[in-house]
Chains A and B, each alone.
Chain A
Amino acid sequence: MELFRDLGGELLAVLTTLLTAAPYIIGYVLLILLTMIIWSFIKRMLTPKHDYSSLKTVTFGDESAVTSNSVASVVSIVLIFVLWGAFTGSKLLPGFMHAPGPFVGEGSFTYTITTPSGETDDATVSVLVHPATVETAAPEVEPGDGIAKNDSTAIGSYRSQLLRVDRNDEMGRGEETFITAVNDEPIAPGGEVQVSFGTVAMSDKGTLNIMPATGIQMEPIWLPAPEAVWTRLTEIATVGYRNSTLAEHLGYSLFRVIVGFILGALVGIPLGYAMGLSNWFRGWFDPIVEFMRPVPPLALIPLVIIWAGIGEVGKIILLFLAALWIMAIAARSGVSGVRISKVHAAYSLGASKWQIMRHVIIPNSLPEIFTGARVAMGVCWGTVVAAELVAAEKGAGMMIMVASKFQSTDIVLMGIILIGIIGFTIDMLMRWAERILVPWKGKG
């Protein structure tokens, strides 16, 4: 019961988070609709459509009338970069497109102290907010007259500072003298006052907490600007990261995937053929394959590390296992999928068993095998990155995992983008090979 209560609490937390994100999601959807309306307007102005689909009166629900609009794709990708740039204060974007950034510069506020006898005095606090990466000293100020003395401080942007401004005053807490107002607005412990550069709050003990405005941009440690990621990319491509260049990291990952996949296919395809052609082999391997197939390859990582360590052998064994079952099942269904009339036709044309294998069964199973290979390559790529996250000395996954430990968000982002691009490229290459090598796919 306790478990259900805990899980219920977690669910509630997730839903709350989603709810806070809802306005942004709605805003994004409205943006999509807005660009759609704008584009359909522009298109009507530019090129009236004259092809067959423009004559269709029923398009809603007609699957063939829906194609991917490449303008929408371009706008969507551009928008991602624009939003990325706007919320990181990217230099690639003109300043007016930036989301409000953190306050940087000089500001000041006054505070008022009240002595037990009811006397009051004001003093000014000069605040210098500087970029967090630049060390800056607090400005020099005259102490001024009266009981309260002027103060100054320097704060890095996105940071805040608890400052005992009354420490240098002639009468302090020891004399029952307290700060009672900021910028002439009364303040009490726990309260806060808006000032020109942000907020000044008072802690429970009566200390002022100076919080310069942070704006709604992301701090580079959460999300670096696009150009920072690009700079890091060129740097790692030439200098390297953790003793290896970018090409080495990616090359190692790809090497593991390709070797693991090829080994898996070399064993898996004959295994699938055997299972598709012989009752005995089918019976023998069915329980093994059907059990191993639903086991995610990632769940095997600990066992593989125990058995083979974190070197290349372990990774390749893991990827071999990831590809093996997929390829075996693809080859099996490719063989079982051959239409009996094709086999009969080949027999009545005088083909021997071996010739039927070579000229009918194998070519007939190739489309299925290619589909399996595409799936297997995708799974292998995902698995290798995950395996490198756990333990590796080189590789794309290792690179982003180590970078995250040092809070190098730029490297993490760069790695994720590269991993995505490579995965996409692998899929495209497999599709291309499929079109070239098995053009009869789906035409039987």
Chain B
Amino acid sequence: MSVLGPSGCGKTTLLNIVAGFLAPTAGNIVLNGKKVHGPGPERGMVFQQGALFEWMSVRENVGFGPSMKGMPKGEKSKIVDHLLDVVGLQDFKEKAVYELSGGMQQRVALARCLANDPDVILMDEPLGALDALTREKMQGLVLKLWKETGKTIILITHSVEEALLLGERLIVMAPRPGRIHTEYRLPFAEMGVGQDLREVKKHPKFGETREEILGMIWDMEEEIMGRQESA
């Protein structure tokens, strides 16, 4: 599921509430029939950047969750090795995280989150700081992981294309007050699994939806500006 919206509409706030870092002013977050109070390992989170522990190696970063649970060493290293294989960082296992490029660091962050085997993965603009090419590769990786693990992923982004490509459901939020504006159900994520994402983007429906959403967000931004000018 991807969440999209103009800046300041409360996307990150929503995610922080789901993660349990913030308490909602009204309403509840319910996961698997249980109410959420505070953060927990069943909701893993991938941050934009700079949330890795730079005093640990890649291996220790990925193994952080299992270590906290007190998992035995053998079992832990099996999980870590497997995940490093999945994200393609087996050769960088003993490197310090600050020696890796931005894209590699985000792959470590993904693997670290998966190591805990969460029910839901929350992603707060995880690819926002990456260059266009790396970003495209990472989008493919996120799709692959989504399909392979079958986990629910909530992805916050400010890129309409990314939201369309990765979201089976797409929610457009509106600001002041932050609310859900429109919800889409999209076929592109299914189409993109194991496919060239550029082919998906050429689909006529893709361009159409993109224009529609862009127009929607554009109108919201206009409205905010107008309100500010009249105020």
User: Given B47, B54, B68, which contacts A352 in the complex, CB threshold below 8 Å?
Assistant: B68
Given A339-B50, A344-B21, A349 and B64 contact (CB-CB distance below 8 Å): yes
Query: Is A341 located at the chain interface by the 8 A CB criterion?
Result: yes
A342 to B61 alpha-carbon distance, docked (Å):
11
Total A-B Cβ pairs within 8 A: 76
A363 to B55 alpha-carbon distance, docked (Å):
7
Task: Please state if B68 and A355 are interface contacts (CB–CB under 8 Å).
Answer: yes
User: Given B40, B48, B54, which contacts A348 in the complex, CB threshold below 8 Å?
Assistant: B40
Which residues does chain A contribute within 8 Å of B122, judged by CB atoms? 348
User: Which secondary structure characterizes the binding site on chain A?
Assistant: helix
Query: Is B41 located at the chain interface by the 8 A CB criterion?
Result: yes
User: Given B19, B21, B41, B96, which contacts A350 in the complex, CB threshold below 8 Å?
Assistant: B41
Task: Please state if B53 and A360 are interface contacts (CB–CB under 8 Å).
Answer: yes
Task: Please state if A349 and B47 are interface contacts (CB–CB under 8 Å).
Answer: no
Query: Is A242 located at the chain interface by the 8 A CB criterion?
Result: no
A174 to B85 alpha-carbon distance, docked (Å):
116
Task: Please state if B50 and A348 are interface contacts (CB–CB under 8 Å).
Answer: no
Q: Which residues 52-96 in B have Cβ within 8 Å of A in the complex?
A: 52-56, 64-65, 68-69, 96
Which residues does chain A contribute within 8 Å of B47, judged by CB atoms? 341, 344-345
Query: Is A277 located at the chain interface by the 8 A CB criterion?
Result: no
Q: A57-97 interface mask toward B, CB cutoff 8 Å, 1 = contact, 0 = none?
A: 00000000000000000000000000000000000000000
Task: Please state if B39 and A347 are interface contacts (CB–CB under 8 Å).
Answer: yes
Task: Please state if B51 and A345 are interface contacts (CB–CB under 8 Å).
Answer: yes
Task: Please state if B54 and A443 are interface contacts (CB–CB under 8 Å).
Answer: yes
Task: Please state if B41 and A348 are interface contacts (CB–CB under 8 Å).
Answer: yes
Task: Please state if B54 and A440 are interface contacts (CB–CB under 8 Å).
Answer: yes
Task: Please state if B39 and A341 are interface contacts (CB–CB under 8 Å).
Answer: no
A341 to B125 alpha-carbon distance, docked (Å):
13
Task: Please state if B45 and A440 are interface contacts (CB–CB under 8 Å).
Answer: no
A360 to B40 alpha-carbon distance, docked (Å):
17
Given A440-B55, A440-B96, A344 and B50 contact (CB-CB distance below 8 Å): no
Q: B21-46 interface mask toward A, CB cutoff 8 Å, 1 = contact, 0 = none?
A: 10000000000000000111101110
A339 to B51 alpha-carbon distance, docked (Å):
8
Which size class do A's interface residues fall under? 20 to 34
Query: Is B146 located at the chain interface by the 8 A CB criterion?
Result: no
User: Given A348, A364, A443, which contacts B43 in the complex, CB threshold below 8 Å?
Assistant: A348
Query: Is A125 located at the chain interface by the 8 A CB criterion?
Result: no
Minimum CB–CB distance from A334 to chain B (whole Å) comes to 12
Minimum CB–CB distance from A432 to chain B (whole Å) comes to 18
Minimum CB–CB distance from B104 to chain A (whole Å) comes to 14
Minimum CB–CB distance from B118 to chain A (whole Å) comes to 8
A443 to B98 alpha-carbon distance, docked (Å):
6
A364 to B51 alpha-carbon distance, docked (Å):
12
Task: Please state if B68 and A350 are interface contacts (CB–CB under 8 Å).
Answer: yes
Task: Please state if A350 and B51 are interface contacts (CB–CB under 8 Å).
Answer: no
Q: Which residues 325-367 in A have Cβ within 8 Å of B in the complex?
A: 339, 341-342, 344-352, 355, 359-360, 363-364, 366
